[in-house]
Structure 1
Amino acid sequence: MNSNRVKEHVKSLIYNNKSLYSLYDKGFSYGCSDFSKLKDKFKGERAFIVGNGPSLNKHDLSLLKNEYSFAVNGIFYKTESEGFRPTFYVVEDRHVMLDNVDKINTFEAQYKFFPIDYKNQVKNKKNCWFFRMDKGYYNKTSPYFAIPRFSTDMNDKLYCGQSVTMINLQIAYYLGFSEIYLIGMDHSYQIPSDADVAGEEITSNSDDPNHFHPDYFGKGKKWHDPHLDRVERTYSYFKLVYESQERQVYNATVGGSLEVFDRADYYSLFK
């Protein structure tokens, strides 16, 4: 039986046996961190979740020096150019991990969060925490494909939701933050005409027009179709979760197209 037939056989087993979905979607659990000591550690505080859209260049990140902040993926370009360093650093996407493994390993933050799937790639484990990541959102054979879910318990799992921001929002909730401000969330993408597109996977052949730095997903780097309609649907669900517990998420992005959350003026937050 060749490899393709094996894969199809496994998919068939999973599709026809719903009890296997949970095992397939949830991923690894062995070696995950114990997050108990972080539960509500920052209860009642506010935090900024930093997106990586072009609008991030319109924000003075030095204002976040005395704030709690989450940042992701290629934020190290901002660290190199401006010295900005977040409190919390998060990676979800495997392409980001594999294409930037050296920079990710040398990047310093008080807290670094990764799916347990990447534990072997993380050589410098100082300040690193590893969580179980449920990938059902991305699995087309899963009954939870493209369906938003929210975890309130990091010791159980965190759910994917089309954007690493969703992982950040679940972590922030578990840590106890009650007021979240999103910045750098442009909520718009273009696929360059010279990019190589193979299904959901895109390979860049030129500078990245969708992020604050041209090398973010620059030439030779791989990324996924962002599916902004799914992102917006998940945002809407997460907004309801936060509000049901009298917590709030605001969009403090300068410009951009994200209108799910109430707007806040970034610069007025520091007056």
Structure 2
Amino acid sequence: MATEIRLMRIMFNKLFQSSLTDGDEASISMPSKRRIAKLEESVRKLEKEIQKRNEEISKLKYKSVLSDRTFESLFRGIYGRSLHDFAGRHAGERCFVVGNGPSLNKIDISRLRDEITLGANRAFIGFEKWGFSFDYWMVQDRILANQSADEFCDNLPKEMIKFIPYTILRHFDIARLDNVVPFNLDYTQQCSFSNDPSALHEGFTVTVGLLQVAAIMGFTKIVLVGVDHNYQIPKRNVNDDKKWSGEGLSNHFSEDYTNSKNGQVWEMPDIDRMIRAYEAAAVWARKNGIEIVNASPGTHLEAFPKVEFEGLFQS
């Protein structure tokens, strides 16, 4: 605030002095002096208004932090833990963030059985075939949660840690879901990256949410698999509400993934903002010495270095 006021005064003085020529100052008329006095009064009023606005912003920020802490305290009381409890849990380790793209069918996914894995959404339909489930799971999409909450409760393994935003917990019968970790998803912070357990940022894809959780947990090498970033959605599959059906499409590792036979619909992917969020993750990783690579065969995502999946394992 003090800096802003000083800059205003400097600008005012420079503007005033630049309008004077030699000898002008002594010949300033009384009307001119009155105008200058009014201008100075306007500057003082502006200073007061800026100070008032800054105080209001500070109060709002305080209320926001207080609200976040209140929610965290409330949900910790109910569920026994929060995202803060996972900070640094896997410091220095490697993990795999598993997307649900069709390229999963091009790798030997059994390689991940003994790795630390994070996945999302309806990935559970592959667990039986793969012979293992993920260590961590997340859902962020409110429409998906509304349609699939019962299915998640019935099919997600009890031992798997489940990260769910405060805002969509209401869709679940929590008595049927073990190992839930509620978290704050800040929808106002978009296409940026957070490694602060107080709040994840909106990345327009659950994969970015998983990357943030991986960063919070302290992983120093994060490998993406099944992150094809290639959405083929013809107009015939999009309804009047701009939701799409997966009927007849191959955007995921299983034709059953989109559950179109039961009428399930999905949010249209916001590709541009997804890319910006991925790029923000890449920038954060470079600045903090964290390696994020993409081992998804044929991926269209360019934000991270691409590597061969088999090359990640010792023979």
Find 1:123's aligned residue among 144, 156, 175: 175
Q: Report what 1:113 is aligned to.
A: 163
Give the 5 Å matches for 1:34-183: 34-106=82-154, 107-108=156-157, 109-120=159-170, 121=172, 122-136=174-188, 147-154=190-197, 156-183=198-225
Q: Deviations over 1:97-152 (max 9, x none)?
A: 1222223113114311111123231333321100011122xxxxxxx5xx422222
Q: What SS does the corresponding residue of 2:224 show, helix, strand or coil?
A: strand
Give the residue type in structure 2 aligned to 1:202. K
CA distance in 2, matches of 1:205, 1:88: 25
Runs of 4+ in 1 over 6 A off after TM superposition: none
Q: Report what 2:254 is aligned to.
A: 213
Unpaired stretches in structure 1, ≥5 consecutive residues: 1-16, 137-143
CA distance in 2, matches of 1:232, 1:251: 14
Q: What SS does the corresponding residue of 1:226 show, helix, strand or coil?
A: coil
Superposition deviation, residue 172 in structure 1: 0.5
CA 162–36 in structure 1, closer or farther in 2 if over 3 Å, else same: closer
CA distance in 1, matches of 2:121, 2:169: 16
CA distance in 1, matches of 2:145, 2:192: 23
Q: Is 1:31 equivalent to 2:75 in the alignment?
A: yes
CA distance in 1, matches of 2:160, 2:124: 14
Give the residue type in structure 1 aligned to 2:186. D
What's the TM-score once normalised by structure 1's chain length? 0.81
Count of aligned residue pairs for this structure pair: 242
CA distance in 2, matches of 1:247, 1:68: 16
Which structure has the larger Rg over C-alpha atoms? 2
Give the residue type in structure 2 aligned to 1:88. Y
Superposition deviation, residue 205 in structure 1: 6.6
Contact kept, 8 Å, 2:164 with 2:183, in 1: the verdict is yes
Unpaired stretches in structure 2, ≥5 consecutive residues: 1-55
CA distance in 2, matches of 1:88, 1:133: 17
Q: Percent of pairs identical after alignment?
A: 31
CA 223–35 in structure 1, closer or farther in 2 if over 3 Å, else same: same
Higher relative contact order (CA 8 A, sep 6+): 1
Give the 5 Å matches for 1:231-270: 231-270=274-313
What's the TM-score once normalised by structure 2's chain length? 0.70
CA distance in 1, matches of 2:219, 2:137: 16
Give the residue type in structure 1 aligned to 2:224. L
**C-alpha RMSD over aligned residues:** 2.5
CA distance in 1, matches of 2:177, 2:144: 18
Contact kept, 8 Å, 2:232 with 2:251, in 1: the verdict is yes
CA 236–205 in structure 1, closer or farther in 2 if over 3 Å, else same: closer
Contact kept, 8 Å, 2:246 with 2:265, in 1: the verdict is no
